[in-house]
Chain A
């Protein structure tokens, strides 16, 4: 089955700097890769996603890149702000009814003022 690894497990950056979180997946059949943000005491929420037919997707200060050959995808946050501090999860799945998401172990991002 699918296995998703995520690095780093913790990341501290200065406010205004960029943050990058990387995930690797094992199953080449996976074709959909969402990123979820979990704020303290809350459930995870979708912030951005990408399909395998696209190499990059941007939404304001966040972007996701995908390298299908290397089977890895990354979350990029630019101009970080204190409210970006949270735990971020990547996930992978594919187009198949009955297929569930496999989540990475998470990255705790701290943005220092």
Chain B
């Protein structure tokens, strides 16, 4: 059982380049999320998709776009990468939002922007 799978695991970008992080879950979950993790700042929500067909901004959405391609897949796009976007990115999913739901995380994507 794969759970949440995200690719690529490592990426180095030059400032101004674009890229898409791919994410897929096989748990038939309704809600999906993209977080970034920076030292001392925990997990900050970039964008989320409460259900198929919907997407919403989280705490730190600037510089990112998302697409909920279908129930399984939720991608994150950096249109013009900046050094401030150097971070570890986690895709996650849950049955639904709110209390009582377990969030399942992927293994992370390490992105460096030079």
The residues of A with any CB-CB pair to B shorter than 8 Å are: 6, 9, 31-32, 34, 36, 41-46, 49, 51, 89, 93-101, 103-106
Q: Chain B: interface secondary structure?
A: loop
User: Is A42 a contact of B107 with CB atoms below 8 Å?
Assistant: yes
Q: Which of B13-21, B39-47, B65-73, B74-82 is near enough to bind chain A?
A: B39-47
* 9 further interface pairs, Cβ-Cβ under 8 Å (given A105-B41, A106-B42): A32-B98, A32-B99, A43-B105, A44-B43, A89-B42, A97-B97, A100-B45, A100-B97, A103-B43
User: Is A89 a contact of B43 with CB atoms below 8 Å?
Assistant: yes
Interface residue tally for chain B (C-beta within 8 Å) = 24
Q: What CA separation (Å) do A76 and B4 show in the bound complex?
A: 29
The contact of B99 among A44, A51, A106, by CB within 8 Å, is: A51
Indicate if B103 sits at the interface (CB-CB under 8 A).
Answer: yes
User: Is A43 a contact of B90 with CB atoms below 8 Å?
Assistant: yes
Q: What CA separation (Å) do A45 and B106 show in the bound complex?
A: 10
Indicate if B100 sits at the interface (CB-CB under 8 A).
Answer: yes
User: Is B58 a contact of A100 with CB atoms below 8 Å?
Assistant: yes
The contact of A105 among B4, B40, B92, by CB within 8 Å, is: B40
